[in-house]
Chain A
């Protein structure tokens, strides 16, 4: 194992959102977005966080970025600072060190402002440098992400999705971040732009030792990019392993289902049907007594124990953790 220090220490993290009540007398109901995550992330690695809608990955990302308050448990950044979020949802202490890049590249940028104005904003918020220094920093960062300076005078809705996403990344880089969370940053891009952004992340990781948590619902994108992969389902982590290991030796039935559902050229050529994971993700408003994946699990050894008791994340092979009784 590498001797990198731990940049993020997540302990027993829970997050519940309260849903609006049906009437004054009704009992409040909650969405259990994150149901107990304990994990440590090392500095300088690229992590993949994979899961489908409702698995809680975006909520987890927001808690790490300090814009959501955990219901239980905590996140420590760099061994010292507990990540806190103030009442207005603003990331207090760590905004210069942790950044989150949102999925919709266009919506994440304020409308009716030029790119130059947008890129000045993070520097203004933190009062960094005078106008000349800011300009220099912006130009240097644009060069790092390989965007021409001509982009500064444009409006982002005029630009392509790939370029706009790069602007989002530029904005985060201007604050000298140490950890970037990229929430589905490439899902809506065409394949060529995707590769460009992924290459950019690789470069930032290699040259600036930037820790990256790359969130995706498509496991094939993390295969190229990530050193380690975390798979989430319905608020819990179901599998956590190094990159080649998790693809070659995936153990949790959900991970395997995810892999088999990805369209590949081979499947296109042979015409073989994709593996279909039947059913839908159960509603996160109910805390299930047993394994969250029970209802859709097709593992031959699935039994009562799976339905009534919760499994825990345990090391089944070296460096490979799985949350299942049966593997």
Chain B
């Protein structure tokens, strides 16, 4: 029996290799570790916090954080605010809210964004036009305006803030996914699948789902950081989380009047936000580098 010569041209990176490569990346590991610690701290806040976040202690008001003044003590690691509440404990509880809002809004953004983008790209003309018009309308209204309007109408809750952030974020990813899909559908192998009788749904499921999800992974990570910042911003200027609820933004807002003599109230939560976003940024870069979908 005659056989054909099969010549190997170049090796492919098998899929499992790339996941392992990710874990070998030191930057990724360190960033991930930092994030995991922060999240765990937030999760176990009631157990770890030294004080109740609402506990006021007027005598200890405006205590500086450790090593920063004579009044500092181990009792208040990050100092206290104007009402004597322990900043460290407030941050721990505030992280819970902030992370929750960021997490769920990211889920909304990508859930809706990718779903809509896939539909738009694969089902062609009419569906595409309808969806794209919706995204255009959405994109033309800046987040802040929507937030202000919506939150003026209804009192801001964790749920409503999450929804607002989610709704304003999805159009961009819908567009990106759609252009990804449009580009791929022009390729020969999609035509070949259609010739074989594959439905659009099958093509979506088989060829696009995994690829799209993997390629947006790096953006999911970045978007999470962005949502943390947005929530903090909204709460900071007062149209986000309202007291007595706590988030990183509200703590920062509390310290607005004390920037000069009690800088730690605003700065330390801000530092947390910075650390979170930088870690996420590094993770995103590592993902892009190693996964290269």
Q: Which of A92-100, A226-234, A305-313, A315-323 contacts B (4 or more CB under 8 A)?
A: A92-100
Distance between Cα atoms of A96 and B195 in the complex (Å): 9
B20 within 8 A of A: no
Say whether B1 contacts A146, CB under 8 Å. yes
Partner of B5, one of A126, A157, A160: A160
B206 touches A89 (CB 8 A): no
Verify B195–A95 contact, CB threshold 8 A. Answer: yes
* Closest B residue to A122 using CB positions: B196
**Minimum C-beta distance from A59 to chain B (A):** 13
Contact of A158 among B10, B188, B191 (CB under 8 A): B10
A99 vs B191: C-alpha distance when bound (angstroms)? 11
Q: Which of A2-10, A42-50, A147-155, A257-265 contacts the other chain?
A: A147-155
Nearest Cβ distance between residue A191 and chain B, in whole angstroms? Answer: 14
**Residues of chain A lying within 8 A (CB to CB) of residue B15:** 112
**Is B188 a contact of A96 with CB atoms below 8 Å?**
no
- Please pick, from B8, B10, B191, B193, the residue contacting A121 in the complex, using a CB distance under 8 A: B193
Which B-chain residue is minimally distant from A174 (CB atoms)?
B196
Residues of B close to A65: CB separation below 8 A: 195
Q: Is the interface of A mostly helix, strand, loop or mixed?
A: loop
Q: How many residues of A contact B (CB 8 A)?
A: 44
Known contacts A125-B202, A146-B1, A146-B4: A92-B197 contact under CB 8 Å: yes
Residues B7 and A159 in contact, CB atoms below 8 Å apart:
yes
Chain B residues with CB under 8 Å of A96's CB are: 197
Q: Does A269 contact B (CB under 8 A)?
A: no
Cβ distance B290 to chain A, nearest Cβ, rounded Å: 15
For A104, the chain B residues whose CB sits under 8 A away are: 188
Flag if B192 contacts A102 (CB, 8 Å): yes
Assembled-state Cα–Cα distance A83/B196 (Å): 14
CB pair B189 A111 closer than 8 Å: yes
Q: Which residues in B have their C-beta under 8 angstroms from that of A87?
A: 124
Report Cα–Cα, A107/B192, bound state, in Å. 9
Q: Is the C-beta of A235 less than 8 angstroms from some C-beta in chain B?
A: no
Binary CB contact string for chain A from 116 to 132 against chain B (1 if under 8 A, 0 otherwise): 00000110011000000
> Does A16 sit within 8 A of B, measured CB to CB?
no
Q: Report if A52 contacts B (CB, 8 A).
A: no
What does the 1/0 interface line of A176-202 toward B look like (CB < 8 Å)?
Answer: 000000000000000001001000000
How close is B129's CB to chain A, nearest CB, in angstroms? 14
Contact with B along A33-67 (1 / 0, CB 8 A): 00000000000000000000000000000000111
Bound complex: CA A110 to CA B187 (Å): 9
Given A88-B123, A90-B199, A107-B188, residue A151 in contact with residue B194 (CB < 8 A):
no
B9 with A158: CB separation less than 8 A: yes
> Is A175 positioned at the interface, with any CB of B under 8 Å from its CB?
yes
Residue A166, interface by CB 8 Å? yes
- Residues of B within 8 Å of A, CB-based: how many? 31
With A157-B9, A158-B12, A159-B6 in contact, do A89 and B189 touch (Cβ < 8 Å)?
no
Q: Which residues of A contact B191 (CB under 8 A)?
A: 67, 89, 102, 108
Q: How far is the CB of B233 from chain A (nearest CB, A)?
A: 40
Q: Determine if A243 is an interface residue (Cβ-Cβ < 8 Å).
A: no
For residue A31, which residues in chain B have a CB less than 8 angstroms away from its CB? none
- Residues from chain B with a CB closer than 8 A to the CB of A193 are 4
A107 to B189, CA, bound (A): 6
Q: How far is the CA of A87 from the CA of B125 in the complex (A)?
A: 10
Q: Is A91 an interface residue (CB 8 A)?
A: yes
Closest Cβ–Cβ distance, residue B33 to chain A (whole Å)? 31
| Complexed CA–CA distance, A109 and B207 (Å) | 11
Q: How far is the CB of B28 from the nearest CB of chain A, in Å?
A: 22
User: Which residues of B, 100-115, contact A by the 8 Å Cβ criterion?
Assistant: none
Closest B residue to A175 using CB positions: B196
Q: Check: A74 CB closer than 8 A to any chain B CB.
A: no
In the complex, A87→B127 CA distance in Å? 13
In the complex, A150→B3 CA distance in Å?
11
A284 at the B interface (CB under 8 A): no
Q: Given A146-B2, A157-B10, A159-B9, answer yes or no on A126-B189 (Cβ-Cβ < 8 Å).
A: no
A70 beta carbon closer than 8 Å to chain B: no
Q: Does B259 contact A (CB under 8 A)?
A: no
Q: Which residues of chain B come closer than 8 Å to A109, judged between CB atoms?
A: 189, 192
Chain B residues near A146 (CB-CB < 8 A):
1-4
Cα–Cα distance between A109 and B187 once the two chains are bound (Å): 10
Closest to B207 in A: A110
Give CA–CA (A99, B192) in the complex, Å.
9
* Contact across chains for B197 and A95 when beta carbons are under 8 A apart: yes
Nearest-neighbour CB distance to chain B for A17, whole angstroms, equals: 15
Q: CA–CA, A263 to B231, complex, Å?
A: 71
Judging by beta carbons under 8 Å apart, are A90 and B188 in contact?
no
Question: Which residues of B151-189 are within 8 A (CB) of A?
Answer: 187-189
With a 10 A CB-CB cut-off, give which of A107, A151, A157, A168 has the most chain B CB atoms.
Answer: A107
25 A-B contacts, Cβ less than 8 Å apart?
Answer: A67-B195, A87-B124, A88-B124, A88-B199, A90-B194, A90-B197, A92-B197, A102-B188, A107-B187, A107-B188, A108-B189, A108-B191, A109-B189, A110-B189, A121-B206, A125-B198, A146-B3, A147-B3, A150-B6, A157-B9, A158-B11, A160-B4, A160-B9, A163-B6, A168-B192
Closest 6 CB pairs of A and B: A95-B197, A107-B188, A110-B189, A108-B192, A155-B12, A108-B188
Extra inter-chain contacts (6) besides given A67-B191, A90-B198, A146-B1, CB under 8 Å: A67-B194, A99-B195, A99-B196, A108-B191, A111-B189, A146-B3
